[in-house]
A = this chain, B = another copy of it.
């Protein structure tokens, strides 16, 4: 499976008084992971929305393995772990210390919606790209 990597540096605002990244912020990092994944495939998410294709989160999970701290340079890895006609699951790992320490792992299922918020099939251009990085089997 191909995964995509992007770096993000922890902002002061993202820490809490425990001195670590607040737990909800990892879901923001997950979004950065999938955004840059799509961009790297040549299809920025903003263009999808302009074509009335919205990827709404259906469910989200995160398991916390080790804390990330202020100014850490994190690596977000993103890849496709499930692919259906109107949904795609992306999985994530976030690492620190030059990818020697796993910080969190998780996944999100995204549902493809139209401009009215109704489910629609993943459009051909996006599906073609997702299939090209998804090797687990036919959908």
A residues apposed to B, CB below 8 Å: 11-13, 15-20, 22-25, 27-28, 31-32, 35, 44-46, 54, 56-64, 67, 69-71, 117
Copies of this chain held together in the complex? 4
Q: Would A28 and B57 count as touching, CB distance under 8 A?
A: no
Q: How far is the CA of A25 from the CA of B16 in the complex (A)?
A: 13
A115 to chain B, nearest CB (A): 10
Residues of B within 8 A of A16 (CB): 12-13, 15-17
* Residue among B24, B57, B64, B71 making CB contact with A46, cutoff 8 Å: B71
Docked pose: A51 CA to B59 CA in angstroms: 34
Interface of A is mostly: mixed
The reply to whether A64 and B59 form a contact with Cβ atoms under 8 Å apart is: yes
A27: which B residues are within 8 A, CB to CB? 23-24, 27
Subset of 17 A-B contacts with CB under 8 Å: A11-B28, A12-B17, A12-B45, A13-B24, A15-B17, A16-B17, A17-B17, A17-B70, A18-B56, A23-B27, A23-B57, A24-B31, A35-B71, A56-B64, A57-B64, A58-B64, A59-B62
